[in-house]
Amino acid sequence: MIDIQSIRNDFPILEKKIYDKPLIYFDNAATTQKPRSVVERIKNGYYNVNANIHRGVHFLSQAATEAHEEARKTVQRFINASSSNEIIFTRGTTEAINLIASSFTDGFMEEGDEVIISVMEHHSNIVPWQLQAARKGITMKVVPMNERGELCMDTYRELFSDRTRLVSLTHMSNVLGTVNPVKEIIEEAHKKNVPVLLDGAQAVPHMQVNVAELDVDFYVFSGHKIYGPTGIGVLYGKEEWLDKLPPYQGGGEMIATVSFEKTTFNELPFKFEAGTPDYIGSTALAEALKYVNNIGLNPIAAYEHELLKYMTSQLKTFEGMRIFGEAAEKGAVVSFLLRDIHHYDMGMLLDRLGIAVRTGHHCAQPLMKVLGIEGTVRASLSFYNTREEIDRFIEGIERVSKMFE
């Protein structure tokens, strides 16, 4: 059970008034708000445990190193990785995908080799591959979807060829809310000896992710979308793969020895963490994961699912309502358009009522093209949202709707 009032008390920003109206924050897919414990962890880190990590013999440096490495273990346990060597801290999902795109292409792809992505990818799982396409002549194959916003699994199977080197797909769509059948996707790829990268930016805050059970080769997510700070994220990679991949960036921390003639690289996970890591961010992320674990991902998923069902049914009472993405497996994200009301108009007018939603293409322009639209209004939910907030949101849409009649 979710104790909603006690949870809301943990998020001071939720008490804010916007234009003199209580804030309703429905932009959680873009970034989540932070509980007190995460902000306190950042403050405590800078006030009490701040020193550069790993190479210092002095007390503070060792304390900061321990906290950072403990955070790595918290992440490891959170996604059930088998070793903390498999957890690489990055700046976020985007950097993690760029890391794999660059290193994997360098290590394992030749001109004409193929990566399978899907029509519902965020730009951060399209553009890094395009950069590699321009650099090395690799090609992208794109899995289409049906009218409910579910991937066409038959076509997925047919896209494999003897040049397929990697599958790189989103676990949950940030626009449609679709939760993809990742177990099946991975099994299918592994039958052909092709590794799989999953973009977990949207999935990780809403459901229990178990990388060992999924048998996924790479899994990436961002701290700020799971109640942690901005500027920190995670790349999980199977140790056997990370060992084989060439480094991404060069610098301090990722080396074992350096001379002007030759450099040898550090062991995992440091081989992929060039420069001073965000050791305050990592510990605050660990705090966020503990917060989520304390509520429990299963109660979170159940509660958010109820909110999603309620919001969807209320939205459908409007004539001329179009909801984009009605997959059988769907997370707490609703993209919609009402009649011919422009998404910016809807977003701006809701904002005046204190309601924060996102409008536009949501960094998924190819998906917008397939849907034949420029953008949508997107309401994305968290466990701190309530039915009463949905009621106010629906009243807000009614007001906007009347203005455009």
Q: Does 74 bind ligand PLP (CB under 6 A)?
A: no
**How open is the CA angle 38-44-46, to the nearest 5 degrees?**
110
CB 383 within 8 A of CB 304: yes
Q: How far apart, in whole angstroms, are the C-alpha atoms of residue 318 and residue 308?
A: 16
Least distance to ligand PLP from the beta carbon of 3, Å? 28
Nearest-10 Cα torsion for 62, 63, 68, 72: 90
Which of the following is catalytic: 363, 368, 373, 394? Answer: 363
Q: Which residue stretches of 197-278 are H helix?
A: 211-214, 239-244
Q: Does 98 bind ligand PLP (CB under 6 A)?
A: no
- Beta strands (DSSP E) in 45-100 are 87-90
Least distance to ligand PLP from the beta carbon of 97, Å? 7
> Given candidates 122, 141, 330, 343, which one binds ligand PLP under the rule CB under 6 A?
122
Give the per-residue contact string, 299-338, with ligand PLP (x = CB under 6 A; - = no). ----------------------------------------
CB 149 within 8 A of CB 120: yes
Q: Does 28 bind ligand PLP (CB under 6 A)?
A: no
Write the DSSP assignment of 156-189 as a string of letters: HHHH--TTEEEEEEESB-TTT-BB--HHHHHHHH
Q: How far apart, in whole angstroms, are the C-alpha atoms of residue 168 and residue 189?
A: 11
CB closer to ligand PLP, 76 vs 170: 170
Least distance to ligand PLP from the beta carbon of 328, Å? 19
Give the per-residue contact string, 156-195, with ligand PLP (x = CB under 6 A; - = no). --------------x---x---------------------
Residue type, 178: T
* Count of CB atoms situated within 10 Å of the CB of 33: 18
CB 381 within 8 A of CB 311: yes
β-bridge partners, 237:
218
Contact set for ligand PLP, span 345-364 (CB under 6 A): 363
> Given candidates 35, 45, 92, 277, which one binds ligand PLP under the rule CB under 6 A?
92
Least distance to ligand PLP from the beta carbon of 222, Å? 3
Least distance to ligand PLP from the beta carbon of 24, Å? 20
CB closer to ligand PLP, 102 vs 174: 174
CB closer to ligand PLP, 201 vs 390: 201
CB closer to ligand PLP, 126 vs 349: 126
363 is catalytic: yes
CB burial of 64-100 (b: ≥16 within 10 Å; e: otherwise) equals bbebbbebbebbbebbebeebbbbbbbbbbbbbbbbb
Q: How many residues bind ligand PLP (CB under 6 A)?
A: 14
Q: Does 33 bind ligand PLP (CB under 6 A)?
A: no
How large is the angle between the packed helices 297-315 and 387-403, nearest 10 degrees?
Answer: 30
Least distance to ligand PLP from the beta carbon of 6, Å? 28
Least distance to ligand PLP from the beta carbon of 177, Å? 11
CB closer to ligand PLP, 155 vs 230: 230
Q: Which residues are catalytic?
A: 363
Binding site for ligand PLP (CB under 6 A): 29-30, 92-94, 122, 124, 170, 174, 199, 201-202, 222, 363
